[in-house]
Structure 1
Amino acid sequence: MLDASQNAACPAHAEPDHPKVKAPKVGILLSNLGTPDNYDYWSMRRYLNEFLSDRRVIDYSPWLWQPLLQLIILTKRPFSSGAAYQSIWNEKDNESPLLTITKAQTAKIKTAMQDRYGDDVIVDYCMRYGNPSTKSKVRALTEAGCQKILFFPLYPHYAGATSATANDEFFRALIEEKWQPVARTVQPYFDDPAYIDSLAQSIERAYADLEKKPDILVCSYHGVPIRYLMEGDPYHCQCQKTTRLLKERLGWDDTEIKTTFQSKFGPEEWLQPYTVEEVARLAEAGKKNIAVCAPAFSADCIETLEEINEEIKESFEHAGGEAFTYIPCLNDDDSHIAALSGVIERNLAGWLE
């Protein structure tokens, strides 16, 4: 917990009754998607309601969407989503894997930043949906004396439904601060050489542990409606570039790697090919041994541990696939932490040297 009273003092030349001011700090606030507090019905309903009510995620008219959400979707989906979360839940710490991993990432980045900048920085994390909320963490940082905050959505690729909504929530939190800190947000790092190298290393390690090299690597990215691409969202193009750079770093040709998209929701057409359908097609085409990675996720979560490693795997095996290897997200791997720390250091230029 941050100590808001630490190093507080009356400013020089001020009157004795002037309010004490904390020693100025720079805050680094990492943000991830979010997590329910538990997998029971009401915890899931609260979480899904916050998530699916976000106009960046579902941009249909509230007059049409909210009755459908409140009366139909949120009466049923908390049960199925809760069962999915229960299958991957960290029972030891009573939290989702995303929260566990985000804590570990934050701890390592905090060590790296303090080794680099000393006590001039405070590193913390928040969630866009669920707890700890962005608002609570912005308040804690400002109360601890952070006059500058670098806000870092932990998404390699920009999308309105991820990076933008995280930034929205950050700016909404700033509205409520009496002494508003100077703020910066971090741009996407989908083509950062250190990030690409970290991805490649994770794949090389995974392949080295296999008896036989997979026929193809499927890079499965979270999907969005194709309409978003047509309206100017750069997410699709950034995903394609990550796959291309990864292929070049690995020294592979086009037949060894493929881009797909997962997690389709609702009636609209989404970015294609859909991962769940493509892995089945690959099996039917004779690709009986595949590997799947998820470059758009900075930490393993429900979409990777349950959707990829259970649902998508089942689709592949049902179509005749024989060997399915899921390559975990980069999580708190040291090369990933070094890549993220490098992004942070570049974005702190002019604030800290």
Structure 2
Amino acid sequence: MPPGAVVPTVDVDRSDPAYRAWLKEAVRKVQADANRSADTHLLRFPLPEEWGVDLYLKDESTHPTGSLKHRLARSLFLYGLCNGWIRPESPVIEASSGSTAVSEAYFAELIGVPFIAVMPRTTSAEKCRLIEFHGARCHFVDDPRTVYAEAAALAVRCGGHYMDQFTYAERATDWRGNNNIAMSIYSQLRLERHPEPAWIVATAGTGGTSATIARYVRYMQYGTRVCVADPENSCFFDGWRDNDPTATSERGSRIEGIGRPRMEPSFMPAVIDRMMRVPDAASVAAVRALEQRIGRKAGGSTGTGLWSALKIVAEMAREGRAGSIVTLLCDPGERYLDKYYSDTWLSEQGLDIEPYAEAIRLFLATGRWPD
């Protein structure tokens, strides 16, 4: 379908037996994907035993589409199908910085509907390749702030459904249980020396993951605190700190998948205990340190969360508080070889990661976090 093409709306009688049979099969396929996929691993980040603090990374890169967004896409498709919004043959359109679009393209292919991803032109080439691998189309915009309006307009032109992850992420996911990410974390920590984490550190794109985790913590009456790490050029930290739902950022985030130019409807500031603003150079330094420590490359959003988690480890160790901390390995670094693992890209962006890399080295060697 060429850009800008007008596709007639597919008129569906939702009481029609053929439609109900299609819907039943589509829901079965999406649920079967979850049923046959083993839960993601919880990896230990090596720290000295005597510190009394354990750090774990929930490895979401092992999902079939390689990222944390696989959970969200599955929930959004079930939500859209059960609400009658996703119909046979009609396109699904999403505004995304990449990983959500990869996962949604997978589910669209699974149930046999077209998919179009509206993304900033700066989205990594590997993510675009993965979207197109699933038979979907990439629709680029030059200004990241226009992805919402363009996706909604494209849905009207195509007679399709605008998924709108930034509105529906927190309501499409069952935060009370149903093997959500929070429930999985607590189950996997059951036999560890600190089974109830002192902190869970998340990052925010839609805000759906942090809302799910924080709500589950409260629902289950745990003492865990939730910290959200926010990159440069994102308004979430300012909006949370100032209790300002109108906060905005004039630039798009360099850390793909997290950070937004506006306060998204799915971002729930009231359930977050703490936020940290993380320099982009620190995020990159952290993912490179992660590779050195556990031999795994990860995306920049993982680095944002890991930097904040390491700071909390340092605080707890300094104060003599034992416990565990969990953060997320959101997606594989192989998607970003031309960005976060490229010294050329760092130079072009004016990012000097060495002071942050040295801070991590010093901390892991001595237990001291630089002032």
Report the TM-score range of the alignment, normalised by the length of the smaller protein.
0.3 to 0.5
TM-score by length of 2: 0.35
Which is bigger in relative contact order (C-alpha 8 A, separation at least 6)?
A: 1
* Higher gyration radius (CA): 1
TM-score, length-scaled by structure 1:
0.36
